[in-house]
Chain A
Amino acid sequence: MSDVLHECPPGQGEDQVPPPSRSALDAEAVKVAYRRWAGVYDTVFGGISGVGRRRAVEAVNALSGRNVLEVGVGTGLALPFYTQDKCITGIDLSGDMLARARERVQKEHLTNVDGLLEMDAEETSFADASFDIAVAMFVASVVPHPRKLLRELKRVVRPGGHILFVNHFLAPTGVRGAVERGMARASRSLGWHPDFAMESLLPPEDLARACIQPVPPLGLFTLVTLDRI
């Protein structure tokens, strides 16, 4: 366990975070959902999320630092967009998705991919400060404990590095909010939470200092950049 994991004082741990209308998704449910989705994932989800993915990789490319961890690399949809000066390590909980990512890396000769590994994003197999940048695309709302994910990414990113999230975050009010709360009921089969609030991921002190940018054109997704202090 690293020091970072102890930053959270007793009494403010995972259990105390109010679950803001999230239905529970355990790791096995996520794995099963993505096994079902693996074949059609690129067509169904790749299209909608492509803009968010591209925007996140652009942001990564613009940052200094060479070693990048992509959390929830999935079928590797974002891998072709990284510049050559970045070295990418991709992790995912789904072996089926990773097998497709590996095919993509070979087919497209993506020489800047250092490795693809099957692991739990909340409990990775990396030493402290292993990466300059960690980027999690559409992951924060599918892991069982988003705050634990954040702590783990803080651990594996070196001080002075950067942690990026692109996700769909709950629109608190209005028509979109109502639709999303309706969709939340289907989240177990969907594998992600349409009703995911940013506060579930970021504690108040991180929320206050994070750079939060809506991703055009629709603003359906949000890019969150947090400097690792």
Chain B
Amino acid sequence: MLMSGAEISPPLDARLLSVLVCPVTKGPLTYDATTNELISPQARLAFPVRDGIPVMLPEEARHLEG
């Protein structure tokens, strides 16, 4: 659970994670525990999770190389 305290991976409720999609492509997301980001492979974007709050805004996302 997101609210249960320290960094737990993934930092989201399992059901919530299962319905979360990329805001740009509406395609699937995967959680990267090492960078604490939600990755949209199709959009080549990494959405940060700050203090347990995923920031699902394209303008705040990191562009993935390659």
The stretch among A8-16, A105-113, A138-146, A181-189 that forms the contact with chain B is A105-113
Residues of chain A lying within 8 A (CB to CB) of residue B5: 106
**Are A119 and B13 in touch, CB under 8 angstroms?**
no
Interface of A is mostly: mixed
**Segment touching B, from A33-41, A49-57, A95-103, A209-217:** A95-103
Q: How many residues of A contact B (CB 8 A)?
A: 27
Pair B21/A116 contact, Cβ less than 8 Å: no
Chain B: minimal CB distance from A96 (Å): 11
- Which of A106, A114, A125 is B23 in contact with, Cβ under 8 Å? A125
Distance between B44 CB and nearest chain A CB, rounded to angstroms: 16
Interface of B is mostly: loop
A124 CA / B20 CA spacing, docked (Å) = 9
Counting chain B residues whose Cβ lies within 8 A of the other chain, the interface size class is 20 to 34
Are the CB atoms of B1 and A124 closer together than 8 Å? no
Q: Which residue of B lies closest to A124 (CB)?
A: B23
- C-alpha gap A74/B23 in the complex (Å): 20
Further pairs besides A102-B52, A118-B56: 14, Cβ < 8 Å: A1-B26, A87-B15, A89-B13, A95-B53, A95-B55, A114-B13, A114-B15, A115-B13, A118-B54, A120-B56, A123-B23, A124-B23, A124-B56, A127-B26
Q: Chain B: residues with CB nearer than 8 A to chain A? A: 1-3, 5, 12-13, 15-16, 19-23, 26, 29, 50-57, 60
Which 4 interchain pairs have the tightest Cβ spacing? Answer: A114-B13, A130-B19, A119-B56, A125-B56
